């Protein structure tokens, strides 16, 4: 069965890594990764307006995939509550699950494989002020749990929702 797992969290909180590992467990799932989509869909800057426009594009693609029974994992920062609510509204399906990857800024900075945090003194220059999600379907503690446990928690969640049968 299909679903949209919309993963939000700070850069380097594990979104892309978990999405790739989740794909190994669910091979027919499409991964819409923020870093790749910024280039492909032409995000001009990291302003709030540009981020909201990008969210609309990504959500529309996810909705099309869902319509064709393709499970989707979206791994994007989506720092604003407004953008996450916009994604949910566009997809407009009870198979949309907002998942927050919880990880402290300090830990994300130590994981910085692309050097984004080192390039700027002000984190909001490339993430915007990250607004903690209030209403989520699932929270994954990527700071204290290994990747395998995080993926397992997502699989368990989907199985409990009767979305996935393993």
Q: Is 155 left (phi over 0), alpha (psi -120 to 50) or beta?
A: alpha
pLDDT of 152 > 90? The answer is yes
**For tokens 């409990």, what's the residue?**
160
Q: pLDDT higher for 105 or 146? A: 146
Task: With CA atoms as reference, report the closest residue to 100 among 125, 135, 57.
Answer: 135
Render pLDDT for 89-137 as a digit per residue (tens, 0 to 9). 999 999 999 999 999 988 988 887 777 776 666 565 556 678 889 899 9
Task: With CA atoms as reference, report the closest residue to 128 among 32, 17, 10, 42.
Answer: 10
- Hey, what are 143's tokens? 């700071």
Rounded to the nearest integer, the mean pLDDT of the chain is 88
Render pLDDT for 67-82 as a digit per residue (tens, 0 to 9). 999 999 999 999 899 9
Cα 38 from Cα 33, distance rounded (Å): 9
Length of the chain: 166
Render pLDDT for 133-144 as a digit per residue (tens, 0 to 9). 989 999 999 999
Active site residue 2: no
pLDDT at 124: 57
pLDDT at 164: 66
Cα 144 from Cα 56, distance rounded (Å): 32
pLDDT of 51 > 80? The answer is yes
**What is the average pLDDT across 10-23?**
94
Task: With CA atoms as reference, report the closest residue to 130 among 35, 12, 43, 45.
Answer: 12
pLDDT at 153: 97
Q: Which is the catalytic residue, given 78, 83, 150, 152? A: 78
Query: Mind listing the domains of the chain with CATH numbers?
Result: 4-160 (3.40.50.300)
């Amino acid at each position: 069965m299909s679903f949209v797992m919309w993963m939000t969290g700070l850069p380097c909180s594990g979104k892309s890594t978990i999405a790739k590992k989740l794909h190994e467990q669910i091979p027919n799932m499409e991964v819409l990764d923020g870093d790749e989509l910024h280039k492909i869909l032409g995000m001009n800057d990291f302003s709030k307006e540009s981020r909201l426009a990008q969210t609309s594009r990504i959500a529309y693609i996810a909705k099309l995939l869902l319509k064709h029974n393709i499970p989707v994992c979206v791994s994007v920062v989506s720092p604003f509550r407004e953008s996450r609510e916009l994604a949910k509204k566009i997809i407009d399906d009870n198979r949309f699950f907002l998942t927050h990857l919880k990880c402290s800024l300090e830990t994300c900075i130590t994981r910085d494989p692309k050097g984004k945090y080192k390039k700027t003194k002000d984190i909001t220059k490339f993430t915007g002020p990250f607004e903690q999600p209030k209403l989520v379907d699932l929270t994954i503690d990527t700071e204290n749990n290994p990747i395998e446990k995080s993926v397992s928690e997502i699989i368990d969640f989907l199985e409990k929702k009767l979305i996935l049968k393993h």
